[in-house]
Chains A and B, each alone.
Chain A
Amino acid sequence: MPKKMLQGCRAIAEMVTLCRPKVVSAYPITPQTIIVEELAQIVANGDLSAEFVNVEGEHSAASLVLGASATGVRVFTATSSQGLLLMGEVVFNIAGMRLPVVMVNANRSVSAPLNIWNDQQDSMIMRDSGWIQFYAENNQEACDLILQAYRIAEDHRVMLPVMVCADGFVLPHAYENVDMPSQEDVDAFLPPFESMYRLDPDSPLTMGAFAEPDKYMETRYMIQRALEGAVPIIEDVARDFTKTFNRTSYGLFEEYRMDDAATVVVVLGSMAGTVKEVVDELRAQGQKVGLLRLITYRPLPVEALYRALSNAEDIVVMEKALSLGSSGPLATDLRAIFQSRPANPRISGFVIGLGGRDVTINDISDSISKAHQQVVETDFVALRDDMELEGINA
C-alpha cells in the first residue's frame, strides 16, 4: 500500500474505520477531538456503516459502548485526560464485565492546574483497571496497535478491553506518512466479532450480576489470569501482524541497541524518538547505552522484561507520570520485578515532560549521567529555577 501523509487523528480514524466497528460513541476533549470529528464525517459520508452516537459526556460514552459491546457488536470510543477520569467508574466496569471494548486515549495531563498538553498521568491512573494498555511511539504504530487491539480483546482466551495510548498533540496532531492497509488485508487479519455472550432474547443471560464475598475474589483472579495469558497472545498477534503487513510490530516492547548495553533507558510512548537520538550519540562516544521502549504496559510482561534487562548495570526509567507521594509508576514496577529475582541492576527514576514540557536531548543525557553517579529514587527533570517551589505558591 502507498503511504499517505495524514494527521494522526485522521490516520487513527481511518484505521478504526477499517476495523468496522458497529457503534462509535465519544465526547470531544482536546487533544482527542479531531478523532471523533473525523469518525463523525466518515459515518456521515456513508464510508462506515455504524451508529455514531453523540453523548452528553464521557461517562455516557463509555457506558454506551459498554451496552453495545454487551449486545454483541464491535465498538470504539476515544478520550483523554478529564474525559478518561470521568469515565473511570465505567472503565473498571467494562473490564469486570469482560467486554472487548477498544479505546484510544490521547494522553494529556490531569487538572488542576488545567493544562491540555501531553503527559501520561491520565492513563496511568487506569493501569489497575483490568484493561490491556498499549503505548504508541508514532502514528503508524498507534494505527497498527488499534488493529491488533481488536484481535486481542476479542480473542476468547482474553475478552478484555484494550486502551491504545497515543501521546496527545505529539501524535494526534502531527502529520506523518502512514501506511494504511487495505480493507481486504484488515478483514483477513481481523475476523468479524463473535461474542461469547450477548444480550439476546433468544437465549437470555444475566450480565453484571453482583457477587458476594464468596465469589468476588475469583472474578479478579480470572482477570489476572487472562491478563497473564494475554502476554503470549499479544506476541503472537504482533508476529502475525508483522508477517501479514510486512511491517514490524514489536508486541511487548522494542529493544533499541540493547546488545551489550550496560545502561538501558526505559520509556513509554513518543519520547522514545528523542531517546534513540541520545542513545546514538552516546554510542558514538563509546558508551554502552540502549533503549527499551515498553509498548505493553498492562499486562506488564514481567518475565520478558526481566530477560531483556537482567544484564544491565543501570536502568534509567524516564516517565511522563508520577504517583504523587510515591514514585513514577513504571520505575516502581521495574523495581518490583528485580526485587524477587537474582539480577540486581541499579534502577533510577526520572519524571519528565509533565504537562507538555518539552523533553530535550540534554534532559535525557543529563539524567543518564546523574543515574551513573548514584541511584536516583525520583527526580523531576528540568524544573524551573526561577520559581519559589517550597510551600504553597499563591
Chain B
Amino acid sequence: MPKVKERDKSCDHLFASGHTACPGCGQSLAVRLVLRAAGRNVIVVNSTGCLEIFSSKYGESSWEVPYIHSLFENIAAVASGVESALKATGRLDDVRVIAMGGDGATADIGFGAISGMMERGHDVLYVCYDNEAYMNTGIQRSGCTPHYARTTTSPPGKASLGNWRPKKDLPQIILAHGVPYVATATVGYYADLDKKVKRALSIRGPKYIQVHVPCPLGWGSDSSRTIELAKIAANSGLFPLYEVDHGELKVRRFGKKIPVEEYLNMQVRFRHLFGKDGARAEVHEIQAVADANIEKYGLMAK
C-alpha cells in the first residue's frame, strides 16, 4: 500500500468518495476514471443532473479539481467562457477545460449551446455521461433513450410499447461539426476510456466523448452488474465503441457477438418486450439495430 500522502498526490481520487450516488452508479465510476486520466490541471463545468446533485452539495463537494455548476442547459457556453478567460489571460496552455453533461443536458435542452461551442472551435473536451434518460428528475425519456425502453414519460401500456423512437445518434451529429476528435466509450472498459480521454486532451480544439453509463435505478438492473452490463451493451453492438480522430475511424472490436436479448433481459426497462411466449417482435427490431451497427462500424473482429 502506498502511503497516504503519496496516494493523495496521484490522480486516483480527484473525485472523492463519500458522495451520494446510488450503489452501482455507472456515472460516478466514469467521472472518477475521466478525472484520473485528465489529471489535476483541469477545470470542470457540470450541468444540473445526477452528477451535480450527488457530488456538489454545499460543504460536501467531492471535487478535488476546480468545479463549476451553473445550470442544466448551458455548460457548453459556460465552458466556452472559462476557455475564453483562460485564453485571454494566457493560461490556456496549462489548463484543460472539461464540460460534463448528462445525455439530457447534451442531446436535448443544451443542444444548441453544444453546437455553438463545437462550431466556434473552443478548446474544450465535452464529456457526455449517457445513462439514456433524465435520471435526476426520476427517469424521464431523453433524446438518448433507446427504442422501446420504459421510462416514466414513455411508459408501456395497452397503446404503447415504451419509447417510440430510436436513440439519437449524438456522436455523429457532433462529428458533422468537423471537430478533430469524437469518441464513444463505456464505463465497462476503463482502459479504453482512459486512453480516449488522454488522447482527446492532447488535441487542441473541441472534443467530444460520449460515455455509456448504466443506471441501476433507472434501468432496473442489478447494481452489482453495472460493469458487466456496460460491456454487454458494447459487445452486442447496441453501443458501438469507436473514435474518429482527425477523420480516421478506429473501432473497438469484439470476437463474440452477444445477442441483444441477453442485454435486454438484464433490465426492467425492457421487460415488457418479453411475454409468456418469449420475446416480442420488437426484440428482433432491436437486434436489427445492433446488427446494423456491427455492419456499419465493422465491430466484429475478423
Residues of A near any B CB (own CB < 8 A): 22-23, 25, 49-51, 53-57, 59-61, 63-73, 75, 89-90, 93, 97, 199-201, 204-212, 215
Contacts and interface: CB of A to CB of B under 8 A. Distances in A.
B79 A67 contact: yes
A53 B85 contact: no
A57 B87 CA distance: 22
B120 A215 contact: no
A64 B86 contact: no
Contacts of A90: 70-71, 74
Contacts of B42: 201
B63 interface: yes
Contacts of A59: 73-74, 77, 113
Given A22-B85, A51-B85, 20 more contacts: A51-B88, A56-B112, A56-B115, A57-B112, A59-B77, A60-B76, A63-B113, A65-B81, A66-B74, A66-B78, A67-B79, A70-B82, A93-B71, A199-B68, A204-B66, A207-B66, A209-B56, A209-B57, A211-B57, A212-B57
A207 B69 contact: yes
A211 B112 contact: no
Contacts of A208: 56, 68-70
17 contacts: A22-B85, A53-B84, A59-B77, A64-B80, A67-B82, A67-B85, A68-B82, A69-B81, A70-B81, A93-B70, A200-B66, A201-B40, A201-B43, A201-B95, A204-B66, A206-B66, A215-B58
A201 B74 contact: no
Contact of A64 (B58, B61, B64, B81): B81
Contacts of A210: 52-53, 56-58, 69
Given A67-B81, A73-B89, A199-B82, A209 B116 contact: no
Nearest to A204: B66
A201 B81 CA distance: 16
B141 to A, nearest CB: 23
A28 to B, nearest CB: 14
Contacts of B67: 199, 204-207
Contacts, number: 157
Contacts of B116: 55-57, 60
Contact of B120 (A53, A65, A207): A53
A66 B88 contact: no
Contact of A67 (B73, B78, B94, B120): B78
A332 B40 CA distance: 52
B98 to A, nearest CB: 12
A-B interface, 5 closest residue pairs, ranked by CB to CB distance from nearest: A67-B81, A56-B116, A63-B77, A71-B85, A60-B77
A98 to B, nearest CB: 13
A199 B40 CA distance: 12
Contact of A51 (B65, B68, B84): B84
Given A73-B85, A209-B69, A64 B63 contact: no
Chain A CB count within 10 A is highest, among B73, B81, B85, for B81
A23 B81 contact: yes
Nearest to A22: B88
B160 interface: no
B82 A97 contact: no
B5 to A, nearest CB: 18
A71 B81 contact: yes
Contacts of B71: 63, 89-90, 93
B68 A64 contact: no
A73 B63 CA distance: 23
B45 interface: yes
B70 A67 contact: yes
Contacts of B17: none
B68 A22 contact: no
A210 B52 CA distance: 8
Contacts of B172: none
B153 interface: no
Interface in B31-66: 40-43, 45, 52-53, 56-59, 61, 63-66
Nearest to B14: A204
Contacts of B52: 210
A293 B79 CA distance: 40
B70 A23 contact: no
Contacts of B59: 209, 215
Contacts of B61: 206, 209
A64 B124 CA distance: 13
A204 B42 CA distance: 10
A71 B82 contact: yes
Contacts of A75: 81, 85
A54 B74 CA distance: 15
Contacts of B58: 209-212, 215
A139 to B, nearest CB: 28
Contacts of B113: 56-57, 59-60, 63
Name the residue in A25, A67, A209, A212 with the highest tally of chain B Cβ atoms < 10 Å from its Cβ: A67
A90 B80 CA distance: 15
A23 B43 contact: no
A125 B39 CA distance: 43
Contacts of A212: 57-58
B32 to A, nearest CB: 16
Contacts of B94: 201
B63 A63 contact: no
A67 B68 contact: yes
Interface in B96-130: 112-113, 115-116, 119-120
A25 B74 CA distance: 14
Contacts of A72: 85, 89
A208 B77 CA distance: 15
A63 B43 contact: no
B173 to A, nearest CB: 15
